[in-house]
Structure 1
């Protein structure tokens, strides 16, 4: 999620969301599945937290983008 993109409409946002979700699942989802299969309870917790953090980061990224250029109150 290093590259900036311009989202002009709902369709653009949908495509962005799909690509980000695929990226998160491929990176963090695999780690969680692997930990669930052969890891300790602590490893599952850590992998689950990492997945949650990746989702949070994506949501914060889009929120920050929505606020770009909006004057502060």
Structure 2
């Protein structure tokens, strides 16, 4: 995500998660569907991996935001 947002409560987190899910599906979902319809096994694997990586990146992003400023001790 390009813009920083403030997550102050569970509702804010839910809204963030919905928006991120929409972005991920728009960016990666079509490629996976197209690969499943027209591509080889390698194409499906690559598109699936890209989708998984996008989800992982989003979760790491929110984790980093939640732990920002928290001591590691």
Determine if the TM-score, normalized by the shorter chain, exceeds 0.5.
yes
Specify every segment of 5 or more residues in structure 2 that has no aligned partner in the other structure, as ranges. none
How does the TM-score come out when normalised to structure 2? Answer: 0.97
Question: Deviations along 1:34-53, whole A, 9 cap, x unmatched?
Answer: 00000111110000000000
Question: Deviations along 1:22-45, whole A, 9 cap, x unmatched?
Answer: 100111011000000001111100
* Map of 1:11 onto structure 2: 11
How many residues of Structure 1 are paired with residues of Structure 2 in the alignment? 73
What is the Cα-based RMSD across aligned positions, in Å? 0.6
1:1-73 correspondence to structure 2 within 5 Å: 1-73=1-73
Q: Provide the rounded CA distance (Å) in 2 between the counterparts of 1:72 and 1:35.
A: 42
Dislocated runs of 4+, deviation >6 Å = none
Q: Provide the rounded CA distance (Å) in 1 between the counterparts of 2:39 and 2:72.
A: 46
How does the TM-score come out when normalised to structure 1? Answer: 0.97
